[in-house]
Structure 1
Amino acid sequence: MKFLLIEDNQELANAIGSRMRLDGHVVDHAENLEDASEFVATGDYDLILLDIMLPDGDGREFLKRHRASDLDTPVIVLTARSQVSDRIGSLDLGADDYMTKPFDHAELEARCRAILRRRTKNTKTTIELGGVIFDPVAGRLKVAGTLVNLRNRELRLLEIFMNAPGQVFSKSKLSDRLFSYDDDVSENAIEVYIGRLRKRLSASDLGITTLRGIGYRLDQNE
């Protein structure tokens, strides 16, 4: 998954980003609202972690604009404010959850997983399709009953496809989902990961179809 972290405390941002990247997620970090708006305008995110008190304004104004633009990206508000009225205000503006600093990072990760499951309308952690059992949370893949090891980006690429079988993803769309803004990505990076994933799925009934000039699609063989 790809997250946008909007947080001006560099130490906290580094801690959150490191934990999320260890789980295989891609994290873009904005230290202020101006940068956050640019990220949202040019990127596609699965979840936004939003601080309230930022150098150039109130994060709730960002949240208000975000929802007014009909963007449905889930948002978890992170703030030192603990008053009930603050929590209610953020939730009424469209926040999906609210965590008061300091918080436990394991709890934040659990809340992220819960929100993402609700978003995909999938209360189970595993996805089963075409002889494949995939658990993106645990990072486990079984193909024809055999456990297959995946590297982080292979895992997240498979997650994208497994959550939307039959949907076409362009190379630029996949690149945007797999890499952060600061990553130095070669032109053939997506082709390399697609090739690796095809090998991992070779014993299953699933295959990744290349639609030349358009993109890639996960298909189940007849």
Structure 2
Amino acid sequence: MGVVAMHFLVVEDDFFCRSILVNILNEHGRCDVAVNGSEASLAFASSLEQGTSYDVVFLDIMLPDKDGQTLLKEFRAAEKEHGVRAGMGVPIIMTTALDDRGNILQAFSSQCEGYIVKPVDEDKVAEKLRELRKI
């Protein structure tokens, strides 16, 4: 029996951070990339409409047009509109330079499943994927 490749959405505006994350995740599946909130909203909504939800979303908080905290709430609202029960949606891991208590609490209260403080590395990503039982 073969391993099923996962499908990730990486929402990251910084080229360097995005490249590192995509290179790490490519070992486990394929990645769609969004460089701002508008692209992320479109990608997430499209996956819901097509019934091809992502296995995991990696979401930066500081984006140029819409912050990741707002996107997280929008993603959860969109899932609810599509009949996805709370706690049953796509796992979302925040990836950010913001290591303050306020942002961390806000993210978890908006139903993220993980929080990685940059710099992102293979060990941090693998740990979160193991916690989610994705690897």
Separation of aligned partners in 2, 1:75 and 1:49: 6
- TM-score w.r.t. the length of structure 1 is 0.50
Separation of aligned partners in 2, 1:104 and 1:61: 25
Provide the residue aligned with 2:93 in structure 1.
Answer: 76
Separation of aligned partners in 2, 1:17 and 1:7: 10
Provide the residue aligned with 1:30 in structure 2.
Answer: 34
Provide the residue aligned with 1:42 in structure 2.
Answer: 46
Moved over 6 A (4+): none
Report the CA distance between 1:104 and its aligned residue.
2.9
Report the CA distance between 1:88 and its aligned residue.
0.7
Evaluate the alpha carbon distance shift between residue 90 and residue 68 of structure 1 in structure 2; reply closer, same or farther with a 3 A threshold.
same
Unaligned runs of 5+ in 1: 118-136, 138-222
Give the partner amino acid of 2:45: A
Evaluate the alpha carbon distance shift between residue 33 and residue 116 of structure 1 in structure 2; reply closer, same or farther with a 3 A threshold.
farther
* Larger of the two Rg values belongs to structure: 1
Unaligned runs of 5+ in 2: 1-5, 48-52
Report the CA distance between 1:102 and its aligned residue.
1.7
Match of 1:94 among 96, 111, 121: 111
Report the CA distance between 1:2 and its aligned residue.
0.4
Q: CA-to-partner distance for each residue in 1:30-87, whole Å, 9 max, x for gaps?
A: 0001111111122220100000010102111110111122251100001111111211
Evaluate the alpha carbon distance shift between residue 82 and residue 17 of structure 1 in structure 2; reply closer, same or farther with a 3 A threshold.
same
Secondary structure of the equivalent of 2:132? Answer: helix
Secondary structure of the equivalent of 1:62? Answer: helix
Match of 2:60 among 51, 54, 75: 51
Give the partner amino acid of 1:112: L
Residue correspondences, number: 117
Provide the residue aligned with 1:132 in structure 2.
Answer: none
Evaluate the alpha carbon distance shift between residue 93 and residue 24 of structure 1 in structure 2; reply closer, same or farther with a 3 A threshold.
closer
Give the partner amino acid of 1:36: A
Separation of aligned partners in 1, 2:18 and 2:61: 14
Secondary structure of the equivalent of 2:58? Answer: strand
Report the CA distance between 1:103 and its aligned residue.
3.5
Q: CA-to-partner distance for each residue in 1:75-119, whole Å, 9 max, x for gaps?
A: 0001111111211111001111111112332221221232145xx
* RMSD between superposed Cα atoms in Å: 1.4
Give the partner amino acid of 1:4: L
Q: CA-to-partner distance for each residue in 1:151-181, whole Å, 9 max, x for gaps?
A: xxxxxxxxxxxxxxxxxxxxxxxxxxxxxxx
- TM-score w.r.t. the length of structure 2 is 0.80
Separation of aligned partners in 2, 1:9 and 1:96: 22
Provide the residue aligned with 1:67 in structure 2.
Answer: 76
Q: Which fold has the larger relative contact order, with Cα–Cα distance below 8 Å and residues 6 or more apart in sequence?
A: 2
Separation of aligned partners in 2, 1:24 and 1:108: 11
